A and B are shown apart, each in its own frame.
Chain A
Amino acid sequence: MSEPILQMQNISKHFGLTVALDHVDLTVYPGEIRGLIGENGSGKSTISSIAAGMQPATEGTMKFKGRDWAPKSMTDALEHGIGMVVQERGTIGGVSIAENIFLGNIDQFSTAGFVNRRKMNQAAKEILSLVGMENIDPALPTTVLDLQDRKLVEIAKVIARKPDIFVVDETTTALSQTGRQKIYDLMKEQKKQNKSVLFISHDLDELMEVCDTLTVLRDGNLIKSLTKEEFDEEEIKQLMVGRELKGDYYRSDYDGSYDKEVVLKIENGNFGEELKDLTLELHKGEILGVGGLSSCGMHTLGKALFGAVPLQSGRVTAGGQTITSEKTAMQHKIGYVSKDRDTEALNMDASILDNISIAGLDKIAKHGVITKKNERNLVKEQISSLSVKCREPKQAVSELSGGNKQKVVFGKWIGCDSEILILDCPTRGVDIGVKQAMYQLIYRMKKEGKSILIISEELAELIGMSDRLVIMKDGAISGEVTRSESLNESAVIGYMI
């Protein structure tokens, strides 16, 4: 085997008290596509971001192309050969596409301190052509692009600098199949040129298909590296979780029955391009899955059903009453778990206690007075029944892991006795162990007669959990299937594209 291009030795990273990485060694060779996999909080994003200059390591040494490696910033790293496309949004809306492409790297167009915009735009145009966006005017503000195109701009920006190591962090979640294909092609091209790729994803199928080697991390430790021949789905899952998964992952029955009573309904709902004359019913005791591409409008549907989106026409009703606001929705015992957990579902500034009790204040108030005792009881009940791992209810919710945060969100809605739950991507960023627990919880709630609407971009979980599954495309329902043992992803994908 050839000399490694990147050697990371003994890398540790601490965030205050949290140890994100604990003495990890990682080696990358030229011409390999290396996958990094692990549950949330395993440290896979952290180690790659250290290599790519986004943050410094607390401890440890790095060698890149045989030399000591300590990039000052992402721009610095990119300049010297490691370029990363980040998980979150990596473009800035208010500035032009060209400015985004050359963010932090503007000097090449400036003479005597003045930037030549024309030169910059021309250069940007060439770069855009790398990802098939040659028809876009780089002088336009980035806001004119949709999310997928913005991601492609980021990718183009990195790939244009011909990095020796191309780091892709969970980027594919934001992309459609065509977008994904583009990025896979770019990776292969990279490999062909004997350059390397570091590919981070939670999607095991994707990784097993694309990568040459896979490194599994868990709780800030490197667990094992596998070559393509060693890939085995079950083993990898076990390595990630650190124990054998016992019991059912999804639900095991194929019953698919539910009550006839309609508990929540949207009739001819319209909202821009997101919802087009959409009608959908949720029944008592039903798990209704809603799938589709990220931009198909299903996330807006979830909000609309909770009264959080003002429909242009049509209406949402529960028990015959119109839902006009989040408040009326809550009065009808509807709960909503947003897909953007940290920004929409939780108040990161506040404690676990505050976050759980906030939806149930009316329930625990006696004559309008909230007693600490009632509040604690409510919260403790949720913490223990959902087994939220925390020191105390007063602990800040921001200190919890992704899975435990999500449990707090669930606790908030279960605690206020919601009968109807709208779950938008409920297992996003949640590790497998917690995922399994959540699936079982959802199933249990169905059994208790609660109605659940799951919106997800992961077909597997929809198929695994739903009594009925509708697929959306361009703001309308494009297909509907019911629960059966024979149902598989390929049968559903056709409706999506």
Chain B
Amino acid sequence: MKTGKSSIAKRLLGICTIPAGTILIFYIICAFRGIAFFETSNHVLIFFRSVATVTLTTFALSINLDSGRFDFSLGSIALLASVVGSTITLNYGLPPAAMLVITLIAGIVLGAFSGLLYVLLKLPALITSLGVTLLYESLVSIISGSGVSFGTQPELTQFSKGIPNMILVIVIALAFMYIVMNYTKFGFHYAALKDGQKVAVDTGIKEVGNAIGCYAIAGAMMGMVGYINATLTGTIQASLDFGSIGAMFVAFLPMFIGGFIGRFSENHFGMVLGAVTYAAIQLGFVRLGLSSEVQSLVSALVLVGFLIYLNNEHTLAALFTGKKKGGA
């Protein structure tokens, strides 16, 4: 396929419009209110931290949801992984790097275990994940009681306070997903299973291993989210009765935006830009001093609006070009 000049321009437009447009809108609104969008370096940090956690959550959500596996347990994995990581680190007085590594490994193990249950129980992923969520939340409570607190050890809470760290997380996560999904056997098999489950299984591709792998990757992502969240305040609060499922809801908008941008670029890169959009909205609300109720309301409306656009693009396009649809 040859790419002409106009088509490159079109692609760039498709890639940039949403994130750049969102940032621009908030810049303008902030300017009107006499506020700078990025006033201090702290705003930049908030922004990148959001991009990082939202990107990771989006990768974790989409890797399974794209294959028709709905996973409620993401938030509980983040929570439990960070509890395991911090508890072990504190009990044995390990260095901060150990906490990162243990949390990440815990995330992978918890994700893989969730995948293993899904594979073994042969239930719809949605249902398995309900049970897993309850289980992981309860383990958090059993291990840590009310949670874990290490805010008094500043060396343990440095990670999420560095902008370079956040950028590094984003870059590594993106590079990881990009390479795994586009240049490894796992990724090829993933794509085949995603779109042609039966054909792929009949051909002899090991679906079970691939699925567990997906859950493990999602677990790694959520482990990282747990680590960032834990090091943000130095406290992890236990949560019961599905209190943890809210964590995954941030990922829907970026996921769909990612799907849209994915038409012009690589899918995962699109998701990062989706996360950028989400983070911009979030920071915008913080800068404008609007309450989080208003924010969740607006985010929900934006999500619905964007989906309406995505799912009715052709109808809308027909409407604008004046083409009529349907018989007399």
Contact = CB atoms under 8 A, between A and B. Distances in A.
Question: Do A and B come into direct contact in the complex, CB within 8 Å?
Answer: yes
Interface of A: 53-54, 72-76, 86, 88-95, 99-100, 103-104, 106-107, 110, 113-115, 117, 137, 140, 269, 310-316, 322, 324
B194 interface: yes
A103 B202 CA distance: 11
Interface residues of B, number: 26
A137 B2 CA distance: 11
Nearest to A107: B185
A137 B1 CA distance: 8
Contacts of A322: 327-328
B184 A114 contact: yes
Contact of B204 (A76, A88, A110): A76
Contacts of A269: 327
Contact of B199 (A91, A140, A314): A91
A104 B196 contact: no
Contacts of B199: 88-92, 103
Nearest to B323: A312
Given A94-B195, A322-B327, A324-B327, A110 B200 contact: no
B160 to A, nearest CB: 31
B204 A53 contact: yes
A114 B184 CA distance: 5
Contact of A72 (B1, B202, B204, B328): B204
B327 A316 contact: yes
A117 B185 CA distance: 11
A314 B327 contact: yes
Interface in B204-241: 204-205
Nearest to A86: B202
B203 interface: yes
A274 to B, nearest CB: 14
Given A99-B188, A322-B327, 15 more contacts: A53-B204, A74-B203, A92-B196, A94-B191, A99-B191, A103-B200, A103-B203, A110-B185, A117-B182, A117-B183, A310-B325, A312-B325, A312-B326, A313-B324, A315-B327
A110 B1 contact: no
B183 A114 contact: yes
Contact of B202 (A54, A93, A110): A54
Contacts of B184: 110, 113-115
What are the 3 closest A-B residue pairs judged by CB atoms, nearest first? A73-B204, A94-B195, A92-B196
B328 to A, nearest CB: 5
30 contacts: A54-B202, A72-B204, A73-B205, A74-B202, A74-B203, A76-B204, A86-B202, A88-B199, A89-B199, A90-B199, A90-B202, A92-B192, A92-B196, A94-B191, A94-B194, A94-B196, A95-B196, A103-B188, A103-B203, A103-B205, A104-B200, A104-B203, A104-B204, A104-B205, A106-B189, A310-B325, A310-B327, A311-B326, A312-B326, A313-B328
Contact of B185 (A93, A106, A316): A106
Interface string B301-328: 0000000000000000000000011111
B268 to A, nearest CB: 15
Contacts of B198: 88
A319 to B, nearest CB: 17
Nearest to A312: B325
A396 B51 CA distance: 51
A106 B186 CA distance: 10
A115 B191 CA distance: 14
Most B CB within 10 A of own CB, among A76, A92, A106: A92
B59 to A, nearest CB: 18
A107 B205 CA distance: 13
A314 to B, nearest CB: 6
Contacts of B183: 114-115, 117
Contacts of A100: 192
B312 to A, nearest CB: 15
A435 to B, nearest CB: 28
A409 to B, nearest CB: 23
A103 B1 contact: no
Interface in B162-182: 179, 182
Contacts of A90: 199, 202
Contact of A99 (B179, B192, B324): B192
Contacts of B204: 53, 72-76, 104
A127 to B, nearest CB: 16
A315 to B, nearest CB: 5
Contact of B1 (A76, A89, A113, A140): A140
B185 to A, nearest CB: 5
Nearest to A115: B183
A314 B327 CA distance: 6
B327 A93 contact: no
Interface in B235-267: none
A72 B204 CA distance: 7
Contacts of A324: 327
Contacts of B194: 94
Given A74-B203, A86-B202, A92-B196, A313 B185 contact: no
Contacts of A86: 202
A76 B204 CA distance: 8
Contacts of A114: 179, 183-184
A387 B192 CA distance: 42
A340 to B, nearest CB: 15
A314 B204 CA distance: 48
Contacts of B327: 269, 310-316, 322, 324
B196 A93 contact: yes
A95 B185 contact: no
A94 B185 CA distance: 16
A74 B206 CA distance: 12
B328 A315 contact: yes
A280 to B, nearest CB: 15
Nearest to A104: B203
A93 B200 CA distance: 12
Contact of B192 (A76, A88, A103, A316): A103
Most A CB within 10 A of own CB, among B182, B191, B192: B192
Nearest to A49: B202
B258 to A, nearest CB: 16
A137 B202 CA distance: 26
A93 B183 CA distance: 19
Contacts of A88: 198-199
A150 to B, nearest CB: 11
B210 to A, nearest CB: 12
B185 A113 contact: yes
Nearest to B195: A94
Contacts of B188: 95, 99, 103, 106, 115
B214 to A, nearest CB: 16
Contacts of B185: 106-107, 110, 113, 115
Contacts of A91: 196, 199
Contacts of A75: 203-205
Contacts of B202: 54, 74, 86, 90
Given A53-B204, A115-B184, A95 B325 contact: no
Nearest to A95: B191
Nearest to A100: B192
Contacts of B196: 91-95
B280 to A, nearest CB: 30
A265 to B, nearest CB: 13
A312 B328 CA distance: 9
A92 B202 CA distance: 12
A73 B203 contact: yes
